Structure 1
Amino acid sequence: MFDIVFPKHFVDYIVQCTNAYGNKLCSTNRPHTRHSRRAVFRETNNEEILKFLGLCLLKGHFKCPKQRNLFTYTNHLYYHPIFTYVMSARRHEQLLRCLYASEVDAKGSRKITQFIDTATAHFQKIYNAGKNLSLDESLLLYRGRLQFRQYIKSKKARYGIKFYELTTSDGYVLNIYMYCGKENLEENISKTEDLVLRLMRPYLLKGHHLYMDNFYNSVSLCKKLLGLRTHTVGTLRSNRKGNPDSIVKKKLKKGEHVWVRKNNVYVSKWRDSRPVLMISTNTHPTMVEVQNRFGRKKMKPLEVATYNNHIMSRIDRLDQMVSYYSSPRKTIRWYKKVLFHLLDISVWNAYFLYKKYKKNKDKSYEFIMFREELIKDLIKLDTNINVKDLVNKKSMHYNRLHNNIPAIERNERSLDRMKGHWPERIESNPGSKKKYAFLKCRVCSKDGKRVETSYRCKGCPQKPPLCPSCFEAWHNEINL
């Protein structure tokens, strides 16, 4: 299901853009520090990117102050063997730095909006939406400097990047629009009307019923949507232009219900604990008996009951489930956080389809179970390997080709490969007062020790600096 929602050509595009951006970073004239990850970039491929995305999804299951702690052997509190087994920390950080999903020369919001449009068009293509649709906004936490960063007091994040999302009544995400600042609109259309019509463009003239809150609804918008064969139901702000004064200003007692009609647009008012103003084009305002989850019966207007059944917490529920295992991490580059958020939405859509068509009778199958199965598949984890072997092997790419070779023959092969590997002194730089240069030992650095040596291996291509006592460990356990 994930391959259907997030197909192979999406991964191909990310690989292509990441390689182009990584090569561009390496070709810059900025000075690089020694052993910098930007000095040399080894191009990635589909298999490695899927493993990288799988680890990013897995990081959403852990709370760790620094992601490097999940890879390091020296931090006992946060080290997790699966990360070093799949990929080295330096390679993971290099891929994270070079991750890209647009043309290299893209500026501003175009760094991610084209990929969002492509993904949402694919979401709509693979799933036929039902009659009832919901529209609401969502906020992705981001506190960095950004021209179109928003503040919404009612949201948990409060500061961040705002998305307008169109979903089915049961939670499948159909369309996403990222707010990128003010736009020049036509004189006869408002901002909210343009937003709703943009999100609903693929579903107009098809007879859908759209449920929205009072931020979007107005009498003029309902008339336009009704002319496009789309019904609306939702709450209405009392100060919205075009509202009937006879309904808005009327004082009601608790339980009273009044309404007025203009053509096929109904505006009603009902007082429960406080006045509720509703607008509808697909239901005639009338009082009906409803039952809550505790079994208590109560009289409510039909439009209120219909609205509660189809929009109550659908998008908020989506945000809640995604936030439990959110893969976006704190980053300066906002477009990467949006890309990871889009990945989380793709995983949710895949779970929605898998639950509906494959596990529809299994009520115990939860979102976390789906994510765990998906992560195992993405990182190509062998289900037969146990935890002890995983820790001992250290890396899935650490292949000791002579594991099953007899000990005598193994020693002979090791001696053959050791030919030419002898220690030599590291010459000092011209103009230095020291006779020899001193560098950090590779083996000691991996063990968390800071030891400098003036010896290096003569036969290794990279000529790594090594302590005399570390030559055997380096050649036996790392290179051979």
Structure 2
Amino acid sequence: MAWLLDPRTRRGLPLTDDLVLSLLEDGNCSDLELDDADVEEFVPPLAENEVTASDKELGIPELIPSQLGVKRSATSLQDNAVAGPSTKRRKQVQPVIDAVKQGCNKILRTPGRFSVDEQMIPFTGKCYLRQLVKNKPRPVGLKNFVVTTSEGLMIDFEIYYGNNPVLSHPLGLGPAVVFRLIQSVPPGSCIFFDRYFTTIPLLDELKRLGYHGTGTIMVNRIPDRQQISFKEDQKMRRGDIDQRVSNGIVLVKWKDNKAVFTASNCTGGTAINNIKQYDKSAKCYIDVDAPKIVTSYNTFMGGVDVLDQSMEYYRTYMKTRKWTLKVILHFMDLAVVNAWRLYRCDSLAKGIPKNRIQDLLAFRFEIAETFMNTPDRDRLQSTPLVEIQVKQI
């Protein structure tokens, strides 16, 4: 029999012919005058395989999820209807990410020079987080924003997965990444980043927060660039410098093989250094004048590249279609490289000779031997409740 739920009394009404005619005439079941004899308590129908209290009294056991047609892999403590499938997949690798972040938070931080850049987690399979970043050794994979010291020691990171509230800022994604990562950097430090992140409002905000910032910048991100007149590229020779200063922000145009624009709130272009650059026509290295802002950027910006290079030496390789497994292996390698970098820094600080300091390969072998010599642990036994249910069934 069909039922109708009365919104006033919250009770079920049998859907009779007289009730249908009254609804068609009035259109509101809450105003109908019904006798108590015509109203019955609404009892929703039982779902498939559902057990009632009376069934329990008869000795019918409750069924476990595997017998209800639900896969064991589909069970989760998270409300998937609210979180969505994408959040559920990220939760599978979140414990590993949190463990690496907790290890990074224990690193001693002092004001110094840090670099912010992108890092790729290589994966070419099907994944909604997959990105393409050109000019990278591994251009396809998951994008990970990293802040490291100038020597390559990772301090903090943030994985990019689209609509991330942590990486939302009125100035855009690039400045949002910098503001998120400098939360792990002490004030008074100098932050280096490339043109993907650099904007003039970002440098102003960093100056207000007590940070120094330097980076290359795109020409279209320079405000009022029509009023700022730089020398034309054709009129500049190799090593020429053109500088503009406004409100504590320095813009420098330097001509190498091509024109390079840099911006900073702490370093200018008046100090000149000589660097060695290759000349194609002479087929040899020649001395070229370069401003201090360029030499500082080239010296301290490569921290993330040093980290990537160390990971590529002995990266754990496994052919799989699961991106979650690739993320776990990537962060395991990342943790090993970061631990080796800390070990190397501590050894040098203690005055240990370099020939007695383990290289990365020996360090990884020692970790593997430690895990192999760890005593075996007994597997977890099934709980008594599950055993009882299985016996009843």
Q: Under TM normalisation by the shorter chain, which class is it?
A: 0.5 to 0.7
Tell me, yes or no, if the aligned pair for 1:220 and 1:242 is still in contact at 8 Å: no
Q: Which residue of 2 aligns with 1:376?
A: 369
1:361-402 deviation digits (Å, cap 9, x = unpaired): 3157421111111211121189xxxxxxxxxxxxx99xxxxx
Within the alignment, does 1:307 sit opposite 2:297 as a pair? yes
Q: Which residue of 1 aligns with 2:353?
A: 361
Tell me, yes or no, if the aligned pair for 1:109 and 1:180 is still in contact at 8 Å: no
Q: 1:300: Cα distance to partner? A: 0.8
Query: Match of 1:278, as an amino acid?
Result: T
Of residues 118, 123, 142 in structure 2, which corresponds to 1:142? 123
Q: Using the alignment, how far apart are the partners of 1:241 and 1:302 within structure 2?
A: 21
Within the alignment, does 1:192 sit opposite 2:165 as a pair? no
Q: Which residue of 2 aligns with 1:207?
A: 188
Tell me, yes or no, if the aligned pair for 1:258 and 1:268 is still in contact at 8 Å: yes
Q: Which residue of 2 aligns with 1:272?
A: 256
Q: Which residue of 1 aligns with 2:155?
A: 174
Classify 1:248/1:239 alpha carbon distance in 2 versus 1 (closer, same or farther; 3 Å): farther
What secondary structure is seen at the aligned counterpart in 2 of 1:165?
Answer: strand
For residues 236-385 of structure 1, the aligned pairs below 5 Å read: 236-242=217-223, 244-245=225-226, 247=228, 250-252=231-233, 253-254=236-237, 255-292=239-276, 297-312=287-302, 314-358=303-347, 361-363=353-355, 365-380=358-373
What secondary structure is seen at the aligned counterpart in 1 of 2:138?
Answer: coil
Q: Using the alignment, how far apart are the partners of 2:109 and 2:168 within structure 1?
A: 32
Q: Using the alignment, how far apart are the partners of 2:206 and 2:268 within structure 1?
A: 17
Q: 1:182: Cα distance to partner? A: 3.0
Q: 1:248: Cα distance to partner? A: 6.6
Q: 1:30: Cα distance to partner? A: 10
Q: Using the alignment, how far apart are the partners of 1:249 and 1:117 within structure 2?
A: 47
What secondary structure is seen at the aligned counterpart in 2 of 1:368?
Answer: helix
Largest Rg, 1 or 2 = 2
Tell me, yes or no, if the aligned pair for 2:123 and 2:142 is still in contact at 8 Å: yes
What secondary structure is seen at the aligned counterpart in 2 of 1:153?
Answer: coil
CA RMSD of aligned residues (A): 3.2
Q: 1:286: Cα distance to partner? A: 1.4
Q: 1:150: Cα distance to partner? A: 0.3
Within the alignment, does 1:156 sit opposite 2:137 as a pair? yes
Q: 1:268: Cα distance to partner? A: 0.8
Q: 1:135: Cα distance to partner? A: 0.6
Query: Match of 2:143, as an amino acid?
Result: K
Q: Using the alignment, how far apart are the partners of 1:330 and 1:129 within structure 2?
A: 40
Q: 1:103: Cα distance to partner? A: 7.4
Query: Match of 2:339, as an amino acid?
Result: A
Q: Using the alignment, how far apart are the partners of 2:147 and 2:118 within structure 1?
A: 9
Classify 1:115/1:289 alpha carbon distance in 2 versus 1 (closer, same or farther; 3 Å): same
Tell me, yes or no, if the aligned pair for 1:141 and 1:161 is still in contact at 8 Å: yes
Of residues 119, 127, 134 in structure 1, which corresponds to 2:108? 127
Q: 1:138: Cα distance to partner? A: 1.0
Q: Using the alignment, how far apart are the partners of 1:276 and 1:138 within structure 2?
A: 23
Tell me, yes or no, if the aligned pair for 2:267 and 2:292 is still in contact at 8 Å: yes
Q: Using the alignment, how far apart are the partners of 1:188 and 1:141 within structure 2?
A: 30
Q: 1:193: Cα distance to partner? A: 1.3
Classify 1:284/1:155 alpha carbon distance in 2 versus 1 (closer, same or farther; 3 Å): closer
Query: Match of 2:368, as an amino acid?
Result: I
Tell me, yes or no, if the aligned pair for 1:219 and 1:243 is still in contact at 8 Å: no
The size of the alignment, in residue pairs, is: 290
Q: 1:130: Cα distance to partner? A: 4.3
1:90-136 deviation digits (Å, cap 9, x = unpaired): xxxxxxxx9xxx97977032333464245224313233244100010
Tell me, yes or no, if the aligned pair for 2:270 and 2:291 is still in contact at 8 Å: yes
Tell me, yes or no, if the aligned pair for 1:147 and 1:181 is still in contact at 8 Å: no
Classify 1:192/1:117 alpha carbon distance in 2 versus 1 (closer, same or farther; 3 Å): farther
Query: Match of 1:153, as an amino acid?
Result: K
Q: Using the alignment, how far apart are the partners of 2:68 and 2:231 within structure 1?
A: 69
Query: Match of 1:371, as an amino acid?
Result: R
Q: Using the alignment, how far apart are the partners of 1:103 and 1:362 within structure 2?
A: 50
Q: 1:343: Cα distance to partner? A: 1.1
Q: Which residue of 2 aligns with 1:57?
A: none
Q: Which residue of 1 aligns with 2:47?
A: none
Q: Using the alignment, how far apart are the partners of 1:299 and 1:219 within structure 2?
A: 26
Q: Which residue of 1 aligns with 2:8?
A: none
Q: 1:157: Cα distance to partner? A: 2.1
Q: 1:231: Cα distance to partner? A: 0.5
Classify 1:227/1:121 alpha carbon distance in 2 versus 1 (closer, same or farther; 3 Å): farther
Tell me, yes or no, if the aligned pair for 1:267 and 1:279 is still in contact at 8 Å: yes
Query: Match of 2:251, as an amino acid?
Result: V
Q: Which residue of 2 aligns with 1:107?
A: 88
Tell me, yes or no, if the aligned pair for 1:248 and 1:269 is still in contact at 8 Å: no
Tell me, yes or no, if the aligned pair for 1:247 and 1:258 is still in contact at 8 Å: no
Unpaired runs of 5+ residues, structure 2, are 1-63, 81-86, 278-283, 378-393
What secondary structure is seen at the aligned counterpart in 2 of 1:239?
Answer: helix
Tell me, yes or no, if the aligned pair for 1:116 and 1:176 is still in contact at 8 Å: no
